[in-house]
Amino acid sequence: MSGDAEVALDAGALLAESPVWDGREGVLRWVDILRGEVHRYDPSGGLDTHSAFGEPVGAVALREGGGLLLAVGRGFATVEQDGDALSWLWRDGRGDRMNDGKCDPAGRFWAGTMADERHPGGASLYRLDPDGHVEEALPAVTMSNGLGWSPSGETLYYVDTPLERVDAFDYDLSAGTISRRRTLVDLRAADGRPDGLTVDADGGLWVAMAHGGAVRRYTSGGVLDHVLTLPVPMVTSCTFGGPELADLYITTASEEALHPGAVDRPHAGGIFRAALGVTGMPATPYRG
């Protein structure tokens, strides 16, 4: 496995997150959480455009019927493709704001909130079903973050950042329920803390390490087998994109309050790209 990370877009984002490849248009969707922006980056021409929503946007997902689904503020809303008018579905999440989110292989949207770390357990992980029903799937979370599913859909991988580990759950794809939580990767001794993650077509987990300047790949058995280093400290999330889903796109942050000195690092807050000889899986859209 080889390949270095290059700057795809020198975006200067405060907190870029939630990258998702939109195969409908051949573009990368991503958010700048702190600016409340949803971006559309077209790598074929290098053009990046965005819509602003006036409150933090934690995650973006594709929507089967067209448009996008957002984890925004403390809830969920839909928006027309590249529009800026929210249609609220639900806005009663616990915690300070919505954070990372992603659709399961059946088209349900999972996203969690985050709370002040001085008050652990003040947030939750939620499941939004295609019929609009919202379920609190996992309470007593502090900073709900990266999540992804195994290629079979039978395992959910999950990060609650302050725990400094990646957990695995058995996943019932027909019911959208989780069980048998266990630690897959203990990251307390690693450089940085786990943030977003993605799963490749071979079942490997790519974990973005905030404050650690790297993305680390683990096998489905929890064994570290590759480290991709970046020239910026705040690495926030990643996803596979491109026509063959063979490019790993990596989001980063520049906000000084998140990491002192980050703003002074060239290309902090940029979108990076690396070709590593592995491919990802297509993003499942929300089916509501």
Q: What are phi and psi of 34, to 5 degrees?
A: -70, -25
Number of C-beta neighbours around residue 47 at 10 A: 11
> Is the distance from CB of 99 to CB of 66 less than 8 angstroms?
no
Closest CA to 227 of 246, 248, 258, 203: 248
With 0-12 / 13-18 / 19 or more C-beta atoms within 10 angstroms meaning exposed / middle / buried, residue 38 is: buried
237 in helix, strand or coil? Answer: strand
8 A C-beta contact, residue 156 and residue 144:
no
Task: Give the whole-angstrom CA distance, residue 94 versus residue 102.
Answer: 18
Distance CA 166, CA 154 (A): 16
- Residue 195 designated active-site: yes
- Type of residue numbered 2: S
Sign of CA dihedral 62, 67, 71, 77: negative
Cβ contact 255:264 at 8 Å:
no
Ramachandran category for residue 226: left, alpha or beta (phi over 0 → left; psi -120 to 50 → alpha): beta
Phi, psi values for residue 262, rounded to 5°? -60, -40
**Pair of tokens at residue 164:** 């400094």
Residue identified by tokens 């943030």 is 195
Catalytic residue from among 48, 167, 195, 247: 195
Residues with catalytic function: 195
